[in-house]
Amino acid sequence: MRKVKAMERQYRVETDALGEMLVPADAYYGAHTARALHCFPVSQLRFPRAFIWALGMIKKHAAITNGRLGLVPQRIAQAIQHAAQEVAQGRWDDQFVVDIFQTASGTSVNMNANEVIAHRATELLGGKLTDKLVHPNDHVNCGQSSNDVVPTAVQMAALDGIVHQVIPALNELHAGLSRKAREFHSILTIARTHLQDAAPIRLGQEFSGYAAQVEHAVDRLWNVEESLGALPLGGTAVGTGYNTHPEFARLTIAGIAAETGLALEETRNHFYAQSNLDALVEASGALRSVAVSLIKIANDLRWLGSSPRSGLGEIKLPAATPGTATLPGKVNPVLCETVIKVGIQVMGNDAAVTAAGTFGEFQLNTMISVAAYNLLLSIELLAAAARTFARHCVAGIEADRKRCQEILDRSLALCAPLAPVLGHDKATEIAQIAQEEGRTVRDVALEISGLSSDHVDALLDPERQTEPGGALMSVTVRNAEPDSDQTLARGPELPSHGSDS
């Protein structure tokens, strides 16, 4: 008898279509959620804050619409609106307890929201959690189905995260890289292809390439705005929109758009919008492209900053943490490595989203919860990584001018402009002698080319080689007599059409 009373103090009995369920006495969720907890104890993975925010926003504006259309009593609609706003703000996040690996359409997480909002609305109306003043299905879920609410919430959360988190973080990174491009413009170093010396380049030009890469990444993300913003809300179970008011979706989506500032509209074809995850796959692909770009930039910076003495060392990366307890003074490029790790995770997430997208049989994709989790995780990771990279790495990068000049002076790639004048074989000979004897290309060229010092200096001028049309200078020299005093004009700035890698 005492055990029964103890249980009664800790739990309450609620019912759903399958019968009674014990629910923690202080829980705002109900029988459906409790049953999901019992059936799907698979992982510790839960829907993220962004998704819960989106669910709250949908339920809030659905209540406003249903009250306006007279489908739900105004007093109840207002209580639901208030409770859903609290959900959107994060007050009841601890009540969203169902596993990511759950029922196919996300019914469990939709009912989780309906039950939490219904119980909280009941409380706001003066009732207790055991009262039934607000019904999770009849009132909170009025005009809706898990099949249209869950994909709508995922698309909203993804679009909001991309527009308000990832893009601003990338814009900040772009600004930082652009500043470094201007700051390093006067510094000459050597470009590399196949990890080998290629041709002179301005360090600022390298950084301008990184900045442009981020700029294009932002453009790719803006391109998914239209597809993510076309919401399936209003299609209910299979896209026909049965059991919902013809104006429900338009009014609800308009309210959400007005509050969030997102470019949202009702899909033009509900049968399309609810039967596949194409919008999520597209968005995930764009995020994967961003990840690949960030990996490339971070890895380049890791190489350029490698080792203060035995590596490239053209730039100095900010010291974030001590490198190791066993090697005093060692500082590792941990911020670059963090960005690379995030990029790899996002690529893996994209593989999961893509695979999930292939399970859209007939009018429903059964893998939406997995796609949602991975897509929203990618958004969260990329936003944080780009912001951290910009603030704690890129902003503090310094150029080692002396080291850049040393690398440039000793590079065999400087001999390339000699080929149009002396011929490929002679230029190759100069490079080979310089390599074998540990000398500079200039010294060897002065010794065996037969060209005057002025001509050699003009040909090997690395600054001229970093500008469009710089190769025209070689033609001018080739057409002149080797001992001529002819002035080497820079020539018009024409684009270079193709070069050997």
Q: What is the DSSP string of 214-226?
A: HHHHHHHHHTTHH
CATH 1.20.200.10 occupies which residues in the chain? 148-402
The phi and psi torsions of 447 (rounded to 5 degrees) equal -80, -40
Residue type, 248: F
CA distance 402 to 408: 10
- The string of pLDDT tens digits covering residues 135-156 is 999 999 999 999 999 999 999 9
In CATH, 411-478 is 2.60.120.10: no
Is 176 exposed, middle or buried (CB count within 10 Å of its CB: 0-12, 13-18, 19+)?
A: buried
- Helix 49-68 vs helix 107-124: crossing angle, to nearest 10: 60
What value does the mean pLDDT of the chain take?
90
CATH 1.10.40.30 domain residues, the chain: 411-478
For residue 205, give the 3-state DSSP assignment: helix
Q: Tens of pLDDT along 431-486?
A: 999 999 999 999 999 999 889 999 988 998 888 888 876 655 544 544 444 444 33
Which letter does DSSP use for residue 35 in this model? H
**Domain 2-142 annotated CATH 3.40.50.12780:** no
Please give the structure tokens belonging to residue 494.
């024409």
Domain with CATH 1.10.275.10 in the chain: 2-142
Closest of 189, 36, 212, 21 to residue 109, by C-alpha: 36
What is the maximum span of the chain, computed from C-alpha positions, in angstroms?
Answer: 114
Note the pLDDT of residue 103: 84
Pick the CATH number of 148-402 from 1.10.760.10, 1.20.200.10, 1.10.10.10, 3.40.50.1820: 1.20.200.10
Answer yes or no: are the C-beta atoms of 297 and 336 closer than 8 Å: no
Strands (E), 113-208: 188-193, 196-202
Contact in structure between 29 and 112 (CB atoms under 8 Å):
yes
pLDDT at 22 over 80: yes
* pLDDT level of residue 4 (50, 70, 90 thresholds): very low
Measured CA to CA in angstroms, residue 154 lies from 47, 48, 138, 160 at distances of 10, 10, 23, 10
CA-only gyration radius of the chain, Å:
32
Indicate the residue type of 46.
Answer: R
pTM of the model: 0.89
Tens of pLDDT, residue by residue over 230-285, are 999 999 999 999 999 999 999 999 999 999 999 999 999 999 999 999 999 999 99
- CA–CA gap between residue 498 and residue 501 (Å, rounded): 9
The two tokens of residue 251 are: 């009014």
The average pLDDT across 66-75 equals 98
